Amino acid sequence: MNSLPKRVLQVIPSTGYGGISSMLMNIYRCVDRDTLQFDFAAFNQGPLHDEIADMGGRIFYFDYIKKQGIFSYMRAFKNLIQEHGPYQAVHVHNGYKGGFALMAARQAGIDIRVCHIHTSNVEQAWQRAIVPLLKTAAIINATDLLACGQEAGSFMYGRRPFDVLTNAINSSSYAFRTQSDRSRMRKELGIPTDCLVIGHVGRLSEVKNHFFMIDIADWLKRQHPELCFWFVFTGDGPLKYDLEQAIISKGLDQHFIFTGLRSDIPELLQAFDVYLFPSLFEGLPVSLLEAQASGLPCLVSAGVPNEADIGAGLVRFMDLAEGSANWAAALLEWSARGRGEPHESELRLIDKGYSIQENVRKLLHIYQL
């Protein structure tokens, strides 16, 4: 008689196409679900909801803690564990904001409680004063400390020991296909074949520095009026309206495309010539790994950890203080180098530890399976 799989409750911000959920789904698709099954607790429902349900995962949604209050959230989270368990482990991906879930899991008797940090700084200024308290609450209620990279781990845990679980991707999915695939995607986006396509994948939030990208586009238009170029933004977020207004005010609306949330990122990347990533800071961005796996030259801010460069010669780091004019000039120069070899990128990803199979093995060890 076959026994039921062990279940682990994964606590994430949303079931959308964000970096955390994308990383976790890469793992979820590869685990033996006869042995291990994931359930998900999130604040927002997104397009990954149906895929999770199809794979046997249960999804539970909560109001934001700020809306319902700390004690109401902890009570609801503890009730979830008690009503829908037993759970082998609770894995909280909300970093320093995950202490209340970890505390509730501890009260519910969960023996394995994983705190996982995916950023190397504080996104919202109002949180800075209470971040030390939030970090402490998360750390003392966790049994295992994980980070997406060394920089993120040092930010969250200080000198405490922690383990790194890389943001692994299925690199073979991003290999460059054919020129006809590239042309087809550009046609779908409404972009002429001979245009320079500058791509960015990420949620539309302040940390991604989209207004700086608009300044770069403005410089390109004024200094190179003969140049045909398009900026393609994927994702969604609270800044979309403000970004659209800024683009219109500068007369750049014929140079930008907002594709919205998409599941076909490997195909979309084929349409790009260069990848632009001027974030204020990052943990270890999945989308930058995907761009390198596609062989794209990437112009990246110094706010992104050096460990995000897989060593395939595709990443150029720049300080944001150099300004939009220098960034635009570097963008033209860097895009002219052309694509790298995806097979080389795949080998580099594996060599750097971005292996899904290795991550599955690490998690099974942490979950004591």
Q: Given a cut of 50, is residue 99 above it in pLDDT? A: yes
Average pLDDT, the chain: 92
Half-sphere exposure of 133 (CA within 13 A, CB side): 5
Q: 68 and 194 in one domain? A: no
Using a 10 angstrom Cβ sphere, with 0-12 exposed, 13-18 middle and 19 or more buried, the burial of residue 353 is: middle
The closest of 26, 72, 23, 65 to 42, measured between CA atoms, is 65
Token reading at 300:
């990246």
Let me know if residue 318 belongs to a domain: yes
pLDDT tens track for 135-191: 999 999 999 999 999 999 999 999 999 999 988 888 777 776 677 888 888 999 998
Q: 203 and 137 in one domain? A: no
**Stretch 348-355: mean pLDDT:** 85
Structural domain including 175 reads: 171-351
Whole-number percent of the chain with pLDDT over 90: 70
Let me know if residue 1 belongs to a domain: no
Per-position b or e across 259-268, b if 16+ CB within 10 A of its CB: beeeeebbbb
Q: 164 and 294 in one domain? A: no
Q: 213 and 82 in one domain? A: no
Q: 318 and 204 in one domain? A: yes
Q: 182 and 161 in one domain? A: no
Q: 206 and 314 in one domain? A: yes
**Stretch 274-293: mean pLDDT:** 92
The pLDDT, as a whole number, for residue 336 is 93
Q: 55 and 195 in one domain? A: no
Return the residue matching tokens 């909801």. Answer: 49
DSSP conformation class of 2: P
The pLDDT, as a whole number, for residue 2 is 56
pTM confidence score: 0.84
Q: Are 17 and 262 in contact (CB under 8 A)?
A: yes
Q: How far apart are CA 226 and CA 345, in angstroms?
A: 33
The pLDDT, as a whole number, for residue 1 is 43
> CATH code at 112?
3.40.50.2000
63-67's contacts with Cβ under 8 Å and 24+ in sequence apart are: 65/100
Q: 313 and 202 in one domain? A: yes
**Stretch 330-357: mean pLDDT:** 88
Count of the separate structural domains present in the chain: 2
**Stretch 199-211: mean pLDDT:** 91
pLDDT tens track for 27-72: 999 999 999 999 999 999 988 999 999 999 999 999 999 899 999 9
Alpha helical stretches, state H, 148-276: 150-157, 179-189, 210-223, 240-249, 265-269
**Stretch 237-260: mean pLDDT:** 92
